[in-house]
Chain A
Amino acid sequence: MFVAVRDLRFAKGRFALVSLVIVLVALLSTLLSGLANGLVDSGISGLRRLPLTHLAFQSGADATFSRSTLTPDNLKPWQDLPGVEASPVGMSFFNARRDDGSTIDIALFGVPADSFLAPEGPAREALSGPPGLILSDTFQAEGVKVGDELTVVGVDRTLPVVGFTYAGSYGHVDIAFTSLSTWQALLYGDNARDRFSAIALRASDTSGFAGIEAVTGTDVVSKTGAYKGSPGYVGETATMTLIRGFLLVISALIVGSFFTVWTVQRTGEIGLLKALGASTSYVVRDALGQITIVLLASTAVGAGIAVGLGQMVGADVPFRLESTQILGSVALLILLGLLGCLIAIRRITSVDPIVALRSRA
């Protein structure tokens, strides 16, 4: 990269301009990653933290709790399957009114107190006691305390807050737990007939699933497969992915265009290098090195700024960045940037060294 590095130092202004564009694209791309992660968290973090591997829904429910209703008859074969733990789970969205008249939304999971789904620690004990609600930690920040009473709107049933558990949300609504029987009473009143939404499964071997699915009229999805049932999840992630995709393609086009024009302007110089005895691989390495330096430095700066901004955003904005995702995003930008430069590289390989004789530089 003898010439490449010196070109970078010499033509600072020109490279600064394209670097700035790449910085902005990397910044936007990384910010969008953070927002996408935040939205995913907001959509399914409650479900993600549940200690299950699969969920069995009523056949045709498309992994959506509200479309699925199962009974103990559906549950039994799953519980009898060797090597599989199975637990009924209910899930519904409720609105609850506080003493001061304000209301909160809750994604309420109804689970048996002895289920592997039940929150650990004091919350599990609270679940086995009199009917009550175990709320996501998030509600503590809103001033809700153990002992407060919440009235579930619609059924007008008042339940005490009996504890708090990990923060999580489902369908952008903070989660809460209650016993399965309480959940059934809230949803079905006196006509519960032991119904619930889905069957949570914990299994390392799924070979017996197909047979039980057929027998019980259920569809099994993995935990991640169940994310799509969260309201808005598919649309949000698809939108974010599309925007990021466009950004990456635009970035590749910008970088590719810049280096193509830059290569056209350098035709005489490249011809000279070849006339001096440089192999095609030498000049390609030189050019690729230059492109890589610009891409690496710019994307690193852009991603760095995004991380900084991410730490400044408040809790109201769903935002989460993981180092692996940042690195992945940066790597993808660099890779696509290099792909965008293929035309430039192709041009470099085709420069005839005889142009050195015609050059007037």
Chain B
Amino acid sequence: MSLQLESVTVTVPDGRERLTILNDVSLSVEPGEVVALVGPSGSGKSTVVAVAALLLRPDSGTVTVAGIDAGNASARQRTTIRRDHIGVVYQSANLVPSLTALEQVELVAHIDGHLDRKARARAEELLAGVGLGDRLDSRPGELSGGERQRVGIARALMNSPEVLLADEPTAALDADRGAMVMDLLVEQATNAGASTLIVTHVPDQVRADRQITLDHARIIERTTTVVA
């Protein structure tokens, strides 16, 4: 199992009290599997991504990524796990304004300390895979919203992650572009064999193997029905 959250609870300060934003959430995603995480706004979907991406420490519960128990890992170890095993596609593309499309993807290899010819070729290949082979030198300001999000997908796949997380990746796109980007994301994730967890408020867009529904910080439904 590449991603497993076990009895995860997250609370945040709320005046003198603490507000529970994830309550005893358990889920797992198998390699090559695509799971859609749905639910109304404020149900805790993005918090699940934050915990799974090791960006947020839960108050209790365990998080296992690529077989590594990240629960007790130090900040440095969590950074290393993120770098080596996790890819994230953000709600907005979250690109660096000064970098070209190719450099956005190469950045991942540079952070990992091996931006060589092979890495450059892989970055080009990934961008070609998302249909941006002819936009390698374009900066974010020169790309459309859908193109930026596709760069984000290529970047998330650059480190060949065992775990791919997407936090409402089509939220900023219109329906047609959103559907196209989601299809591309699922296709690329499946090809990569990653355990993929996609947060979305448009479940119909995702061709997922399973769907998990969150509401009021709890999982209220699990279905294995493939949503077309």
Q: Quick one: given A353-B55, A357-B49, are A277 and B98 in contact (CB under 8 Å)? A: no
- A357's partner among B79, B90, B112, B140 (CB-CB below 8 A) is B90
Interface residues of B, dominant DSSP = mixed
Q: Quick one: given A276-B83, A277-B80, are A357 and B50 in contact (CB under 8 Å)? A: yes
Question: 1/0 contact trace for A325-361 toward B, CB 8 Å?
Answer: 0000000000000000000000000001110110111
Given the complex of chains A and B, what is the CA–CA distance between A314 and B92 in angstroms? 62
B210 within 8 A of A: no
Q: Quick one: given A277-B112, A278-B111, A353-B55, are A9 and B98 in contact (CB under 8 Å)? A: yes
Question: 1/0 contact trace for B1-39 toward A, CB 8 Å?
Answer: 000000000000000000000000000000000000000
Residues of chain A lying within 8 A (CB to CB) of residue B90:
356-357, 359
Q: How far is the CB of A110 from chain B (nearest CB, A)?
A: 70
Check A354–B50 contact: CB distance below 8 A.
yes
- The residue in chain A whose Cβ has the minimal distance to the Cβ of B82 is A277
A148 within 8 A of B: no
- The residue in chain B whose Cβ has the minimal distance to the Cβ of A8 is B98
- Number of B residues near A (Cβ < 8 Å) is 37
- A359's partner among B79, B94, B99 (CB-CB below 8 A) is B94
A76 within 8 A of B: no
B103 within 8 A of A: yes
Interface residues of A, dominant DSSP = helix
Residues of chain A lying within 8 A (CB to CB) of residue B92:
359-361
Other than the known A278-B111, A357-B46, what 16 A-B pairs have Cβ atoms closer than 8 Å?
A: A6-B99, A10-B97, A268-B94, A272-B94, A272-B96, A276-B107, A276-B108, A277-B79, A277-B84, A277-B108, A277-B112, A353-B79, A356-B94, A357-B50, A360-B92, A361-B140
**Residues in chain B within 8 A of chain A (CB atoms):** 46, 49-50, 53, 55-56, 76, 79-80, 82-84, 86, 88, 90-99, 103, 106-108, 110-112, 115, 139-140, 155, 159, 167
